[in-house]
């Protein structure tokens, strides 16, 4: 078994492009991959203004039920419940509160819970490009558990913090590659398990989107590397199991075995 073979087998191919700082989700502009998917004052067309005057109201359990309201500043339209109160100047202020749907001129639609004029609670956001998020919102941002689907069939199901995949979650690409584990700021970070449709599997430590620390990489033919990783490559001491079950200890440098140390 030559060095080149071991180095070539461990290449991750089509899955690595979603890891690390080069992460790019299908169907989303790379300039606003995640943050621009948020709703609120920090996102384009954010909902940081009140509701335009001239709407029709009906009373229902102390909450005013609103239909067909135009948001003159953002160009969108809101259908749903609002709360009314008087300002110090004696003006009537109406804010989104309760259940409602907002439609932007760019085709986005949010349908769910509101409070204080912004998305809070459970809600579904549908983008014109086919990206759909269904889950929890806090102050206009994805926070808590949520499922996001892309038009090509990829999906992430897990925890979000301020519009970023963070905590634990499961990511599946349309081609069948999957990652299940810890996330920080949209990157694999912590402990996780990464699999490929051909049967390859890595289980171990990640750091900012790449394999870093201790981990086990296995092949469908029975080969296995159990050892140290740096910057996504085997680096340091490790134990290699051949397809015939032979176990040897060796040293790897930048993904290439430099020497065998002994047999175990």
Task: Read off the pLDDT of residues 164-209 as tens digits, 9 standing for 90 and up.
Answer: 999 999 999 999 999 999 999 999 999 999 999 999 999 999 999 9
Paired sense of beta strands 201-207 and 210-218, if any: antiparallel
Answer yes or no: is 50 within a domain: yes
pLDDT at 62: 38
Please enumerate in sequence order all residues whose Cβ is within 8 A of that of 58, keeping only pairs 6 or more positions apart, or say none: 64, 65
Shared-domain flag, residues 144 and 191: no
Mean pLDDT of the 142-150 span: 98
Please identify, among 136, 151, 166, the residue that sits at the C-terminal boundary of a domain: 151
Same domain, 214 and 263: yes
Asked, for residue 158, whether it belongs to a domain, the answer is no
Say if 73 falls within a structural domain.
yes
Q: How many CB atoms lie within 10 A of CB 109?
A: 15
Same domain, 1 and 77: no
Clarify whether residues 34 and 140 are in a common domain: yes
CA 241, 246, 249, 253 torsion-angle sign: negative
pLDDT at residue 95 in the model? 85
Same domain, 40 and 132: yes
Residues 102 and 121 in one domain: yes
Judgement on whether residues 35 and 119 belong to the same structural domain of the protein: yes
> What pLDDT score was predicted for residue 70?
63
The predicted model gives 214-233 an average pLDDT of 98
Q: In this structure, what CATH number is given to the domain that contains residue 202?
A: 2.20.110.10
Does pLDDT of 17 surpass 60? no
Q: Verify that 58 and 142 share a domain, yes or no.
A: yes
**38 plus 11 within the same structural domain:** no
Per the domain annotation, does 38 fall within a domain?
yes
Number of folded domains in the chain?
A: 2
Do 38 and 12 lie in one domain? The reply is no
Residue 24's pLDDT is 37
For residues 38 and 140, membership in a common domain is answered with yes
Same domain, 124 and 208: no
What is the per-residue pLDDT for 75?
Answer: 72
Q: Is residue 221 part of a domain?
A: yes
Q: Nearest to residue 65, comparing CAs of 87, 85, 83?
A: 83
Which of 105, 135, 151 is the C-terminal boundary of a domain? 151
| Domain membership flag for residue 156 | no
CA distance 13 to 195: 12
Of 151, 175, 202, the last residue of a domain is 151
Q: Average pLDDT over the chain, rounded to whole? A: 79
* pTM recorded for the entire structure: 0.73
Of 50 and 120, the structure prediction assigns the larger pLDDT to: 120
The Cα 237–Cα 234 span in angstroms is: 8
Residue 43 has pLDDT above 70, yes or no: no
Q: Say if residue 264's pLDDT is above 60.
A: no
Mean pLDDT of 34-47: 29
Average the pLDDT over 247-264 and give the result.
90
Measure the CA angle with vertex 88, ends 87 and 94; round to 5°.
0
**103 domain residue, yes or no:** yes
Q: Does residue 55 sit within a domain?
A: yes
**So what's the pLDDT on residue 239?**
97
Q: What is the pLDDT of residue 72?
A: 59
Closest CA to 6 of 259, 203, 256: 256
Average pLDDT of the residues in 144-171: 97
pLDDT score of 46 more than 60: no
Tally helices (H) and strands (E) across the chain: 1, 18
| Domain span including residue 126 | 27-151
């Amino acid at each position: 078994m030559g060095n080149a073979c071991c180095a070539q087998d461990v290449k991750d191919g089509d899955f690595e492009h979603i890891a690390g700082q080069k992460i790019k989700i299908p169907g989303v502009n790379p300039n606003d991959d995640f943050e621009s998917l948020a709703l609120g004052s920090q996102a384009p067309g954010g909902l940081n203004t009140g509701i335009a005057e001239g709407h029709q109201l009906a009373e229902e359990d102390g909450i005013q039920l609103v239909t067909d309201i135009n948001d003159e500043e953002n160009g969108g339209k809101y259908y749903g419940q609002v709360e009314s109160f008087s300002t110090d100047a004696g003006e009537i202020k109406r804010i989104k509160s309760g259940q409602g749907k907002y439609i932007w001129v760019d085709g986005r639609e949010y349908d769910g819970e509101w409070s204080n004029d912004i998305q809070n609670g459970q809600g579904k956001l549908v983008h014109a490009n086919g990206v759909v998020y269904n889950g929890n919102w806090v102050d206009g941002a994805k926070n808590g558990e949520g499922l996001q689907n892309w038009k090509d069939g990829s999906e992430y199901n897990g925890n979000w913090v301020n519009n970023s995949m963070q905590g634990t979650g499961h990511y599946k690409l349309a081609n069948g590659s999957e990652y299940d584990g810890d996330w920080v700021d949209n990157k694999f970070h912590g402990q996780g398990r990464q699999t490929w449709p051909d049967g390859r599997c890595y289980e171990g430590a990640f750091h900012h989107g790449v394999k870093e620390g201790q981990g086990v990489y296995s092949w469908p033919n029975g080969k296995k590397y159990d050892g140290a990783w740096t910057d996504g490559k085997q680096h340091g001491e490790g134990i290699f199991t051949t397809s015939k079950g032979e176990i040897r200890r060796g040293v790897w440098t930048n993904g290439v075995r430099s020497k065998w140390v002994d047999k175990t």
